[in-house]
């Protein structure tokens, strides 16, 4: 097979040099200092994946991304610095059709790859498999939030009847938005792992909270699960469920070793759900590359939980769902738009 052709668009010569050194052993790398140069190079060779910085002179990355998605969609991975401004821009890029986000790798030419550099390689491989198309501009991405019922089911003395745990990776940000937007304000507690770098998950949670009737936020250690609350695992932290006494469930965060090359890992969350929840659990595995979550979902099914997997037709990348189906972990295989209804059916709603 021909190596992947990656176009790196970044105004920093140091970043372009580091990216070339990092990716060049297994991919064909072309670089451009700005989108105008990138467009000229794309005329002679169309890349498989574009790795895009968002803050550049002459033309910003968001404008370039809009043009790509309107004219000839190509999988785009946003490669961004870990700042609050960058994280908000990245959320807009995901709305516009970027398939994934990675932090700029902390690597210098001649040094060994860091965890973030390894994550970049994995993300580009996944993006190359992604199904992308023109973004429908008529869809609202920032409609007014529904009223929050923040005091709903606030009695923490009773464990909710069902707990929902969700895992997603490449392409997951949009299906998660769709999923949470379909949930009522009194939905069962939801704990989510979306493969995403640290600092970006807080912005992602804020974006989801704007349109969901649920209270959506980045998880903090000790958060108690309650109806109407959805927690997003922080980037670079595993999340697990713990029982506090007989009637309270909360979350714990860990910075232990990567699992399936990820932290947070879906398998870590699902395995803890299998142990802690048994048949109280509902596990959902969405689009993403690799196998993270498949074995944990099987553990949940074996423990009596209801398990749901996104189908191939609506997955941006079918790797994680496919792995779960092959293991026999999936009780239900449904389209992205039907996941929320399938979850609520399992809760008796």
pLDDT in tens, 129-173: 999 876 554 444 444 445 565 544 444 445 678 999 999 999 999
5 given a catalytic annotation:
no
Is residue 176 pLDDT above 50, yes or no? Answer: yes
Q: Is residue 151 in a domain? A: no
Q: Is residue 303 part of a domain?
A: yes
Q: Which of 87, 195, 236, 262 is catalytic?
A: 195
One domain for residues 310 and 175: yes
Count of beta carbons in the 10 Å neighbourhood of residue 49:
26
d(Cα 75, Cα 97) in Å, to the nearest integer? 8
Task: Clarify whether residues 123 and 170 are in a common domain.
Answer: no
Mean model confidence pLDDT for the chain: 88
| Confidence check: pLDDT of 225 > 60 | yes
Which residue in the list 80, 86, 87, 169 is annotated as catalytic?
Answer: 169
State mean pLDDT over 202-211. Answer: 95
pLDDT band (50, 70, 90) for residue 22: confident
| Band of residue 57 on the pLDDT scale cut at 50, 70, 90 | confident
The structure tokens listed for 1 are 């097979």
CATH number of the domain where residue 281 is located? 3.40.50.180
Mean pLDDT value of segment 174-190: 96
Domain that holds residue 104: 4-128
Residue 278 lies in a domain: yes
**Which pLDDT score, from 0 to 100, does residue 35 have?**
96
Q: Are 104 and 81 in contact (CB under 8 A)?
A: yes
Residue 265 has pLDDT above 70, yes or no: yes
Let me know: does 265 contact 235? Beta carbons within 8 Å: no
Say if residue 105 is in the same domain as residue 253.
no
Question: What was the pLDDT predicted at 138?
Answer: 42
Same domain, 182 and 53: no
Mean pLDDT over 175-190 rounds to: 97
Q: Out of 100, 223, 292, 311, which one is annotated catalytic?
A: 292
The pLDDT, as a whole number, for residue 268 is 98
306 located within any domain = yes
The number of distinct structural domains making up the chain is 2
Q: Could you confirm whether 186 is annotated as catalytic?
A: no
Share of the chain above pLDDT 70, in %: 87
**104 pLDDT above the threshold of 50:** yes
Q: Active site includes 195?
A: yes
328-343: pLDDT as tens digits = 999 999 999 999 999 9
Does one domain contain both 172 and 296?
yes
- Tens of pLDDT, residues 316-328: 999 999 999 999 9
Cβ atoms of 102 and 49 within 8 Å: the answer is: no
Note whether residue 320 is domain-resident: yes
- Tell me whether residue 144 is in a domain: no
Sequence-separated (6 or more) residues with CB below 8 Å from residue 205: 216, 217, 218, 232
CATH number at residue 80: 3.40.50.2300
Alpha carbon 94 to chain centroid, angstroms: 10
Q: Are residues 208 and 286 in the same domain?
A: yes
Which residue, 74, 101, 128, sits at the end of a domain? 128
pLDDT classification of 106: cutoffs 50, 70, 90: low
Q: Are 181 and 91 within one domain? A: no
Positive or negative: CA dihedral 84, 89, 91, 94:
negative
Q: Is the pLDDT of residue 97 over 90?
A: yes
Domain identity same for 222 and 266: yes
Lowest mean pLDDT segment, chosen from 14-28, 95-109, 110-124: 110-124
pLDDT tens, residue by residue, 230-261: 999 999 999 999 998 777 899 999 999 999 98
- 190 and 297 in one domain? yes
pLDDT on residue 223? 96
Query: Considering the domain boundaries, does residue 341 fall inside one?
Result: yes
Average the pLDDT over 255-278 and give the result.
95
11 vs 84: which has the higher pLDDT: 11
**Are 216 and 73 in the same domain?**
no
The answer, yes or no, to whether residue 36 has pLDDT greater than 90, is: yes
Q: Band the pLDDT of 21: cuts 50, 70, 90.
A: confident
> Whose structure tokens read 């392409």?
171
Of 128, 152, 180, the last residue of a domain is 128
pLDDT digits (tens, 9 = 90+) for 67-77: 999 999 999 99
Average pLDDT for 41-59: 93
Q: Identify whether 141 is part of a domain.
A: no
pLDDT band at 110 (very low <50, low <70, confident <90, very high): very low
What is the structure's pLDDT at 115? 63
Q: Which of 128, 144, 179 is the last residue of a domain?
A: 128
Structure-token pair, residue 280: 């109280």
Average pLDDT over residues 24-41: 94
Please give the average per-residue pLDDT across 299-320, as a whole number: 97
Residues 181 and 285 in one domain: yes
Angle (CA) 197-199-202 rounded to 5° is 110
Q: Are residues 19 and 87 in the same domain?
A: yes
């Amino acid at each position: 097979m021909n190596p992947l052709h990656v176009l790196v668009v970044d105004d920093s010569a140091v970043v372009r040099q580091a990216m070339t050194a990092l990716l060049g052993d297994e991919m064909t790398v072309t670089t451009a200092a700005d989108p105008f140069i990138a467009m000229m190079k794309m005329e002679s060779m169309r890349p498989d994946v574009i790795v895009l910085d968002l803050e550049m002179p002459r033309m910003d990355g968001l404008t370039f991304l809009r043009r790509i998605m309107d004219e000839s969609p190509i999988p785009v991975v946003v490669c961004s610095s870990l700042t609050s401004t960058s994280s908000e821009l990245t959320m807009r890029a995901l709305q516009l059709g970027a398939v994934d986000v990675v932090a700029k790798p902390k690597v210098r030419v001649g040094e060994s790859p860091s965890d973030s550099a390894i994550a970049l390689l994995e993300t580009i491989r996944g993006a190359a498999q992604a199904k992308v198309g023109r973004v429908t501009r008529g869809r609202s991405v920032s409609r007014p939030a529904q009223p929050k019922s923040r005091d709903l089911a606030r009695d923490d003395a009773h464990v909710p009847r069902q707990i929902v745990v969700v895992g997603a990776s490449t392409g997951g940000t949009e299906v998660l938005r769709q999923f949470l937007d379909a949930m009522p304000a009194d939905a069962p507690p939801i704990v989510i792992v979306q493969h995403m770098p640290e600092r970006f998950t807080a912005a992602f949670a804020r974006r989801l909270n704007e349109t969901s009737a649920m209270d959506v936020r980045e998880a903090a250690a000790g958060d108690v699960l309650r109806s109407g609350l959805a927690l997003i695992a922080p980037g670079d932290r595993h999340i697990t469920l713990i029982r506090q006494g007989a009637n309270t469930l909360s979350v714990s965060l860990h910075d232990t070793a990567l699992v399936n090359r990820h932290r947070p890992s879906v398998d870590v969350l699902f395995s803890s759900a299998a142990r802690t929840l048994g048949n109280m659990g509902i596990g959902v595995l969405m689009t993403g590359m690799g196998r993270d979550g498949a074995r944990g979902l099987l553990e949940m099914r074996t423990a009596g939980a209801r398990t749901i997997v996104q189908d191939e037709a609506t997955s941006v990348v079918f790797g994680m769902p496919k792995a779960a189906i092959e293991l026999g972990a999936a009780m239900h295989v449904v389209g992205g738009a039907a996941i929320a209804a399938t979850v609520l059916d399992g809760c008796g709603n």
